[in-house]
Amino acid sequence: MSKIKKKLRVLTIFGTRPEASKMCPVVLEAQANPYIESLLCVTAQHRQMLDQVLETFKVVPDFDLNLMLPDQSLSQSTAAILLNLEMVIKQVEPDWVLVQGDTTTVMAAALLCYYNRVRVGHVEAGLRTGDKWQPFPEEVNRRIAAVVADLHLAPTDHARQNLLREGIADNRIVVTGNPGLDALRLITAQPTPPEVNRILQELKIGPDKKGLVLVTAHRRENFGKPLENICSAIQVLANRYADRFHFIYPVHLNPHVQETVHRLLGDTPNLTLLPPLDYYPMAHLMSRARLILTDSGGIQEEAAGLGIPTLVLREVTERPEGVSTGILRLVGTDPATIVNQTVHLLEDNQAYQAMARAKNPFGDGYAAPKIIQALLDFQP
C-alpha cells in the first residue's frame, strides 16, 4: 500500500510592494502545486503600495496584519511585526516560512521563525554590498535572514558565492534566478494598460523609446543631501533636454521622499512627478523608457530584464552582475557625475547601444517553479 504523503504547509510572509511583486509568482506556483498547502500572511508594512500588487496578481492573503503607521520608524515597524506576526506563525504551524529580500518584514519574520523553530526559505538570498550602511538597513536585514535561513534561494551564482564565503553549506543553496523576472514576464505579456497610454499621450511621448527618461529614488541612505543632489541633477538634465526628453518620476509615498522631491522638482514643464504607479503600469512604462535613473534594487533587475540602460544612483550595488554585463552603470549621487553620465548616454548612440545590448544576468523568468521544487526536494 502506498503511503499518502502529507502536504508541505508553506506560509509566505511579505510586507512591501517589491516583496509582493517578486513573491506573487511564487505564491501562485505554490497554490497550483498538489503537494503544497500554501498560506499567505501580509504584514502590510506598506498599505496602498502593497494592495496594488496583490490586486494585479489576484492574490488574496489569508492573514493581513495591517501594520503600517504614518511615517513609521524602523523600530516601530520591527516591534509591531514581532508582536503581531508570532500569533500567525503559532496558529499556522508551517513546515516552511518563505520570505524574500531584505525589508523589516523579512528580518523580523526570520527572527520569529528562529524563536519558534520553524524552517525558513530565503528568496533572493546572498545579495551583499559588504557595507552595513548601504543600503540601510537592508544590508543587515538580509544578513540576519541568512543567519537564520535553512534554504537559501539565490538569484545568481554570484549571490551563491557570497553565501559560501559566509560559511553557508553548498547543499543549502539553490540558484533559481530572481522571481522578479517571473513577475515581469507575466505582466509585460499583458496589453499596455490604458493608464500608460494616457500618460504617454498627454505628455506627447512617442512609442519609440526615444523621448522618455524614467526616474525613481527613495532609499533611506539617500535621504537628505544625496536625494537633494539627485533632484538637482534631474533639474539640470530636464532643462538641458527641454525639447527632446520628458522626465517622469513616480514618487514613493515615504513622507521624507515626498517632501524633498516635490519641493525641489515641483515646477518643470518637461518633468512630471506622479504618485507611485501600480506595478503593472510601472513595468509597461519602464519598457517604453529610453533610459532609467534609479536607486531602487528591484528596478535594476527589471531594467536588465527589459534591456533598458540604467544609471544606478547609489555608491555601491548588491547587483554587480548587471554592472559586469553592462546593462547597469553605477553613478552615485554626485550631481555632476549624474549629469555627465546621462548626457553621455543620451548623446552617444554607440555607447547607448552597447549598454542596451548587454545581457540580463538576473534570471530566465522561471524562478518560481525552481523555488517550489527546492522546498519539496529539501533534505534536512
Query: By the criterion CB under 6 A, which residues form the site for ligand UD1?
Result: 16-18, 45-49, 68-72, 74, 77, 103-104, 137-138, 220, 252-255
User: Is position 29 annotated as part of the catalytic site?
Assistant: no
What are the cell numbers at 56? 494585479
What are the cell numbers at 87? 500569533
Distance CA 336, CA 238 (A): 14
User: Is position 221 annotated as part of the catalytic site?
Assistant: no
User: Is position 252 annotated as part of the catalytic site?
Assistant: yes
> Which lies closer to ligand UD1 via its Cβ, residue 18 or residue 211?
18
In angstroms, what is the minimal distance from the CB of 104 to ligand UD1? 4
Distance CA 196, CA 193 (A): 6
In angstroms, what is the minimal distance from the CB of 227 to ligand UD1? 12
Distance CA 122, CA 12 (A): 10
Residue showing the smallest CB distance to ligand UD1 in the complex:
103
Which of 252, 284, 314, 319 is labelled catalytic?
A: 252
> Which lies closer to ligand UD1 via its Cβ, residue 14 or residue 241?
14
User: Is position 138 annotated as part of the catalytic site?
Assistant: yes
In angstroms, what is the minimal distance from the CB of 19 to ligand UD1? 8
Distance CA 13, CA 21 (A): 13
In angstroms, what is the minimal distance from the CB of 105 to ligand UD1? 6
Which of 17, 46, 128, 218 is labelled catalytic?
A: 218
> Which lies closer to ligand UD1 via its Cβ, residue 223 or residue 378?
223
> Which lies closer to ligand UD1 via its Cβ, residue 205 or residue 285?
285
What are the cell numbers at 149? 535561513
> Which lies closer to ligand UD1 via its Cβ, residue 144 or residue 351?
144
User: Is position 86 annotated as part of the catalytic site?
Assistant: no
Q: Provide the H-helix boundaries in 189-292.
A: 194-202, 225-240, 255-265, 279-287
Distance CA 274, CA 252 (A): 9
Dihedral sign of CA atoms 202, 302, 129, 105 in order: positive
DSSP-assigned states of every residue in 159-196: HHHHHHHTT--GGGEEE---HHHHHHHHHHTSPPPHHH
Which of 102, 295, 315, 318 is labelled catalytic?
A: 102
Which string of b and e fits 79-92 if b means at least 16 CB within 10 Å? ebbbebbbebbeeb
Residue with cell string 502536504: 7
Distance CA 73, CA 65 (A): 17
In angstroms, what is the minimal distance from the CB of 216 to ligand UD1? 10
Which of 220, 240, 256, 329 is labelled catalytic?
A: 220
In angstroms, what is the minimal distance from the CB of 6 to ligand UD1? 34
User: Is position 55 annotated as part of the catalytic site?
Assistant: no
> Which lies closer to ligand UD1 via its Cβ, residue 69 or residue 336?
69
List of residues 6+ apart from 79 with CB closer than 8 A: none
Cross-strand partners of 64? 42
In angstroms, what is the minimal distance from the CB of 63 to ligand UD1? 18
Which of 19, 124, 221, 321 is labelled catalytic?
A: 124
> Which lies closer to ligand UD1 via its Cβ, residue 145 or residue 374?
145
Distance CA 360, CA 363 (A): 7
- Could you list the active site residues? 102, 124, 138, 218, 220, 252
